[in-house]
Every structure is written in C-alpha cells, then in structure tokens.
Structure 1
Amino acid sequence: MIVSFLKHLLLLFITLFILTLVSYNILLKDPLNEVLATPHFYSGYFFYLQNLLNGDLGISYNAGEAVKNLIFAVLPPTLELCTMAMFLSLLLGLPLGFISSTNGHNFLGKTIKSIYVVGLSIPIFWIAPILLYFSAVNNWEISAIGPYNLLYEIKPLTGFSIIDVWFIDEPYKIKIIQNVLQHLALPTLVLTILPLMEIASFVQQRSDFLFTQNYIKISITHGWSNTKILYRYILPNTLPLLVPKIPRLFTIIVAQCMLIEGTFGWPGIGRWIINAVNLQDYNSISAGVIVIGLCIAIVNLFTEILIFILDPFNKKGWYAR
C-alpha cells in the first residue's frame, strides 16, 4: 500500500518535472528571455522554478497584465464546460450502454451500436459549427455564444457562471439563470459526444460479458427485472473498471474544449492560448501549458485517491481487463 502510494507520487513528480521543462523551453523561444539560457540552458531553470512556486507566471505581452490573474479568469469557464460534459457523459452513458446490451439483437440495440461508431468517428471541430449553424437556422434558443448574454451582469465570485448566477440579486434572476443554461447547453452537448460514446460502448461490452455469467442467468430465471439486475450486478461490476478511465476521458474533453471554444465564443483557457500563439505571447503559452498539465495531473491524482479509498488493497480488480 505504501509502496503503491510512493510509486504514484514519484510518477507525479516526474510528470511535473517534464511539464516544467517543456514550459521553460517555450519561454526561451521569446528573444527577451534568451538571457535565461546564458551561459547554459539550465542557468535560469531554477530561477524559473522559484517563480513558479511563488505563483509568479510573468506578464502577458498582449494584455499587459499578470498572467496569473488572466489564468484565474479563463480557467474556470473551461473547467465548467469539461465538468458538465464529464457529468453528462456518465449520467447518460451508463443507462445507454445497458439498454444497448439488453436489446442487442433487435432494432434498438443495433441502432445504438451504430450510433457508437458514428459518434466516435465525427471530428468535434467539424460537428460544433454545424450544430451551431443548424440550431441558429431553426431559431433554437441554445444557438448562443459566450457564457451568457452581455446585457446581463454576473459578478464573478467563483468564475463558474452556473454557480455565480445563483448569487445575484436581481428581480429577473430566473431569466438570467435560464439564459446561462441556454448558453451552456450546446457546447456541453458537443463535448459530451465522444466520452458518452466511449462510456456507453464500454458499459455495453461489460454488460454483454456479465449476462453470460451463471449468477445473472439464474437471476433471470427467477424473474428478476433488467432494472434490478442493473443495480444489483451490472453497476457494481462495471463502475470499478470505469473509474480508472476518468483521467483519460477528462484529458480528451479538455483537448476538445480547446478546439471548440473559439466556435462558441467561450472565454476559456483554450481560446486564450490559441490567441497567445497567434500573438507570440510566449509567457502566456508557457503558463497555459503548466496550468493545463497541472489540472490533468490533479484529476489523475484525485482518481487514484478515490480508488484507494474505495478499495485500499486493490481486491476488487479496478485495473482488470
């Protein structure tokens, strides 16, 4: 147990070390920072690490503001989309996979399996503008860009508009909440497609295997309903194998979110980094790489802690194949 913890801790430090090297190398691309690499490449690395530990990420050449303040402004909107997409994928993927398994030999099951293939094949940067255009042509209220209508004013307490909107004191508060949800709907649905298909496909394959086991066959002969089998056997034997997949799915969602933020006018870190690349703002690019990598590392660490809490001695086969 202790050895396993130390191993994961060592891997985390190695990952962070590689991230800092990549970030430092990006920083040196700026001619103004070449002095850090004299007389040797590593000459300014320890000074750079010291600034990172102190929370000093430098100044953005584009905005003329501290990069740390800009990160706090653009990171929450991205995490908001990613968290909502991850939650929706789990909420819909589990029942969808089970339905496709129990109806595998009829039209419904075959249709859902066909949707898996299509959903996993569609490029997210292609489907996002098409869905936005389609919803706008049909006058759907979810055809909106940005986190909310600029006519409204929401004080950024946490940076998450879906949370901050509940703390405003306006007579038309319900209308503002509705507007925030409408703006959040379409980008969240687009980000949900790929992880939803992967989760549903995994649950369907796992359910197909479990239905071949004798204890479930006996339950079926005793007249158990599919719902009872789902809660009694399928979920307890599927969720342990799904938990370790969360970091990879979250990483995919973050990468996709960076691609579609520009399409939906979302003020997130992906759109901010792309603008920094266009403007050759190497301080912002370097900080963005560190922050995104750190977020993914934190999600991975949280998953490892969750697995350890639920199964300290790894007896339930969390990493079984």
Structure 2
Amino acid sequence: MNNYIVRRIAQAIPLLFVISIVSFTLIKLAPGDPVLSFVTPNMGAEDVERIRQNLGLDQPMYVQYVVWLKNVLSGDLGYSLVNHRPVAEMIIERLPATFGLMGASLLLSLLISIPLSMIAGSRQNSLFDRGLSLISYIGISIPSFWFGMMLIYFFAVQLHWLPSMGMRTVGMDSAWDIIKHGILPCTVLTFMNVSVYMRYIRSNTISQLEEDYVQIQYAYGATKGTVLLRHVLKNVLLPVITILGMSLPELIAGAFITESVFSWPGMGSLGISAVHGLDYPIIMGITMMSSVLLVVGNLVADILYGVVDPRIKTTG
C-alpha cells in the first residue's frame, strides 16, 4: 500500500505541472489588462508602463510563469494585483466559510441520498421510486442560480423567514445567526448534490439486488432490510466514494455560482471577483489548490475502495 501511495504521488507531480502550464497560459491569453484597473485620467503612458513593470507584466509569458512557479515551490502564492495582499492570506481567510458551507451540504447530501436511493432501488418502478426519479431529474435540470433566487424570493422577500445574503447580520455574532444565513445556500447545494447522488446509488442498488449473493441471503431467510443494510450497502458505497473524491476540490473552490447569488464570503465569491478583476495570482492559487485536492481525493477514494471491498487490491 505504501508503494502504491508513493507511486500515485509521483504520477501526480507531472500532472500538476501540466495543469499549471495550461491554466497559466489560458489566464494570460484571456482578454483584458489588469493594469487598466490602476490607470487614472491623470496618468501618462510612462506611468502606465511603470505600473506594468512593477507588477512584472512586461516580461514574456514564459518568464512570468517561471517566476510564478519558483515562488510557488518556495511556498509563496504571490500578491493580489487588486488588493495588494498575499494570496495565501486571502485564501486562508475565506476557507472557513467555504469549508462550513460545502462540508454541511456534502454531509446532508449523503445522509439524505443514501437511504432514499436504496429504498427506491429496492422498490423499483413503485410510486416512491418514480417520485424520487422525478425530483432527481428536476434537480439535475434546473440551474442552481435560478433555484437560489426562487428560495430568496419566497423565504427572504415574501415570508421574511431567512436572510437573503451574507454570512452574518451586522451587530450579531452568534452561531445561530450563521446557521440562518447558511440555510438557503446549503439547501441549493444539497438539492443539487442529492439529485446527482440518487441516480448513481439507485442504479447501483438495483444491480446489486440482482446478484447471486442477494438471492442466497433470501434463501437463508434474510429479510430485505437485513440484505440492504448488511450486504448491499457496502457495495453501494463504491460509487459514493468516487463522487466524494471528485467533490473534494469543491471544499476549496466552493460553488462559485451559489456563493455569488447569496453573497457568501467564501472561495467562490473570491474567485468570481478575481476573474472580474483579472487578478492572476488569486485565480492560479485557487486553481492549483483545487487541483491538488482533486489528486488527493482520487488517491483517498482508491484507498477506501480496498477498505470497503477487500476484493479490490491496489496492486500493480
């Protein structure tokens, strides 16, 4: 197992290197000039060029990339071109908000989707199964920003039950106030995640119930509930592990659209503002941290496969 982990990490290093080159190139080729945000009507061409030199944007693209890579390898993600603050410091400030929102939505998604999907899969083509399938199709089809605005309209504007934006009420510093602000964005993310998870888990439950080991358990007198909980559940968890591994980058990047709709002060809103301001260092910082988490998530998923199902071996 240790050799496998070392081999996977060694394979991830060139992958991250390629991702950094592609991301850096695409960002630099994007239309717009970040220097324009510093220009005032009283500035001349020499002043603008001096700003460009101070920011290091007058160098060729490959020189800028080498400088950026050298700084990143030394633990320095650079400084924001707009806010003039260390990128790492700005990311660390936003991480708790995104971790709390995304972690809560992932946990609720699993707690809701696993039991409902297994029940639906065990009652294939029943009214309950068709109802869940309809809800799942709706969740997959509707845009998250539209669903978020509908929730704001009904629960914040019309009913005045919940706040519509932000993470805290001015003058209040309590856990319940943060929870109230997080209910609507967490509902949007959870509904979208559950809609996707249910399709995978339901399909896998149906296929597992057709396996020989299930029929043998029924022949020994086991009930459907016992078969589902003791035998089918651990096999159904395999696609869930894959989904969770792919979802880890969201803990860094956050849900860009959802955080923007609800003005949630997390990584998503930071990334959106960085894109609008052409703040290259922040964009690259978020991109690379998300890429590292994606690699780590896949590695953790592969390891958990062997834990959940001993038949799966991580051998060459």
TM category, shorter: 0.7 to 0.9
Contact 1:27/1:286, CA 8 A, preserved across alignment: no
TM norm structure 1 = 0.78
Equivalent in the alignment of 1:288 = 286
For the residue of structure 1 that corresponds to 2:261, the secondary structure is: coil
- Distance of 1:276 and 1:211 partners within structure 2: 49
The one-letter code sitting in structure 1 at the alignment partner of 2:68 is: Y
Instruction: Quote the offset at 1:23 in angstroms.
Output: 4.7
Pick aligned residue for 1:263 from 226, 248, 261: 261
Where do 1:114-129 residues align within 5 Å? 114-129=134-149
TM norm structure 2 = 0.80
Instruction: Quote the offset at 1:261 in angstroms.
Output: 0.9
Pick aligned residue for 2:118 from 85, 94, 98: 98
Q: Deviations along 1:62-85, whole A, 9 cap, x unmatched?
A: 222222211111233122222222
Are 2:232 and 1:234 equivalent residues in the alignment? Answer: yes
- Distance of 2:114 and 2:306 partners within structure 1: 23
- Distance of 1:123 and 1:253 partners within structure 2: 21
Q: Deviations along 1:254-302, whole A, 9 cap, x unmatched?
A: 7771111111110112211211222232232232322332333333333
Instruction: Quote the offset at 1:97 in angstroms.
Output: 0.5
Residues 297 and 80 (structure 1), Cα distance of their counterparts in 2 relative to 1, 3 Å cut:
farther
- Distance of 1:132 and 1:83 partners within structure 2: 22
- Distance of 2:212 and 2:87 partners within structure 1: 59
Are 2:52 and 1:52 equivalent residues in the alignment? Answer: no
Are 2:157 and 1:145 equivalent residues in the alignment? Answer: no
Instruction: Quote the offset at 1:134 in angstroms.
Output: 1.6
Give 5+ residue unaligned stretches, structure 2: 35-51
- Distance of 1:308 and 1:218 partners within structure 2: 24
For the residue of structure 1 that corresponds to 2:62, the secondary structure is: coil
- Distance of 2:176 and 2:73 partners within structure 1: 40
Instruction: Quote the offset at 1:92 in angstroms.
Output: 0.9
Residues 19 and 316 (structure 1), Cα distance of their counterparts in 2 relative to 1, 3 Å cut:
closer
The one-letter code sitting in structure 1 at the alignment partner of 2:139 is: G
Contact 1:191/1:256, CA 8 A, preserved across alignment: no
Equivalent in the alignment of 1:198 = 196
Flag the structure with more relative contact order, 1 or 2, with Cα contacts below 8 A and sequence separation at least 6.
1
- Distance of 2:305 and 2:126 partners within structure 1: 37
Instruction: Quote the offset at 1:199 in angstroms.
Output: 1.8
Kindly tell me the number of residue pairs found equivalent between the two proteins: 291
The one-letter code sitting in structure 2 at the alignment partner of 1:12 is: A
For the residue of structure 2 that corresponds to 1:151, the secondary structure is: coil
Q: Deviations along 1:6-59, whole A, 9 cap, x unmatched?
A: 54223311231023224543368755433442xxx5345443222112222222
The one-letter code sitting in structure 1 at the alignment partner of 2:20 is: T
- Distance of 1:281 and 1:42 partners within structure 2: 18
Equivalent in the alignment of 2:57 = 34
The one-letter code sitting in structure 1 at the alignment partner of 2:190 is: T
Residues 46 and 279 (structure 1), Cα distance of their counterparts in 2 relative to 1, 3 Å cut:
closer
Pick aligned residue for 2:129 from 97, 102, 109: 109
- After superposing the two structures, state which structure 1 stretch, 231-240 or 248-257, moved more: 248-257
The one-letter code sitting in structure 1 at the alignment partner of 2:74 is: N
- Distance of 1:109 and 1:191 partners within structure 2: 22
Are 2:184 and 1:131 equivalent residues in the alignment? Answer: no
Equivalent in the alignment of 2:302 = 304
The one-letter code sitting in structure 1 at the alignment partner of 2:311 is: K
- After superposing the two structures, state which structure 1 stretch, 301-310 or 54-63, moved more: 301-310
Aligned-residue Cα RMSD (Å) equals 2.9
Contact 1:240/1:316, CA 8 A, preserved across alignment: no
Give 5+ residue unaligned stretches, structure 1: 154-175
Q: Percent identity?
A: 26
Residues 308 and 214 (structure 1), Cα distance of their counterparts in 2 relative to 1, 3 Å cut:
closer
Are 2:97 and 1:77 equivalent residues in the alignment? Answer: yes
- Distance of 2:247 and 2:70 partners within structure 1: 32
- Distance of 2:302 and 2:212 partners within structure 1: 32
Are 2:107 and 1:87 equivalent residues in the alignment? Answer: yes
- Distance of 1:55 and 1:141 partners within structure 2: 45
Instruction: Quote the offset at 1:180 in angstroms.
Output: 1.9
Instruction: Quote the offset at 1:183 in angstroms.
Output: 1.5
Contact 1:36/1:45, CA 8 A, preserved across alignment: no
> Which contiguous aligned blocks of 4+ residues in structure 1 show a shift greater than 6 angstroms?
252-256
Residues 11 and 125 (structure 1), Cα distance of their counterparts in 2 relative to 1, 3 Å cut:
farther
Equivalent in the alignment of 2:243 = 245
For the residue of structure 2 that corresponds to 1:117, the secondary structure is: helix
Contact 2:245/2:300, CA 8 A, preserved across alignment: no
